Structure 1
Amino acid sequence: MRPRWHAFLDRVAERGDYDTPQEAERAARVVLALLGAHLVGDVRTALAARLPETFAVVLLNPLQAAEPLTPERFVRATAAWIEGATERTAAWDVSAVLSVVADAAGEDLTGRMLLQLPPGYDLLFGRPDLSR
């Protein structure tokens, strides 16, 4: 489990240009907790199976969302959960984490995730070519 966890976190840290592994982990936990509230059924389960166990648990036990968040509101919610974050830094965090999630998920599962999310998330995942 640990090597897979480190590999995932290393990719997030590299994409997010974080100074410490703790910053990358905090971003990953918040973004995955928010993402988990937006995915349902076999899509969420399939994604969890492709993530390191620690992050799979976060995805499967999401923060609650009363309604699907637009990409802009998702970024604002991320900023609210990360101490000291601004919308600009949160957008960076979201893109760093979701692009690594898309790599772990593969194109097919990423496409299925995008079908469950409001329009515009393809850019956050770094996959504008997967637009509906």
Structure 2
Amino acid sequence: MRNTVARDAILEIINTTDEALSQSDVQAKLPEGLCNRVTIYRVLDRLVDEHLAHKITNIDGVIKYANCQSCTTKHKHNHLHFNCERCNTVTCIEAVEPSFKLPANYEVKNVNFLVSGICPDCKEN
């Protein structure tokens, strides 16, 4: 698939933001009129398919997107995602890798560890 101005702009936003972003968050950061809501969703899905972003479902069921650090042919996101209950930000916590043990014959395809609480910024205020 070819690169587009919208794809490049959305990828830049995802790569330069420390927290996971929803479609509406991305749209708010884009230059006005660059692309519509449907195009943003398509680009975000494409970035996930290209292993440049990963999806996180927050505590409210909203899908957010964060950049991939080291995915090449398969997503590997066995890190913790922290959802602040005050500001509703979702942050990848790479230093924490929760572990679990599944019964035999189960195959893991996707992992989403989500912890909710109060982030450091909200705790200070």
TM range (shorter): 0.3 to 0.5
Return the TM-score normalized by structure 1.
0.38
Whichever structure has more strand as a proportion of its residues is 2
Return the TM-score normalized by structure 2.
0.39
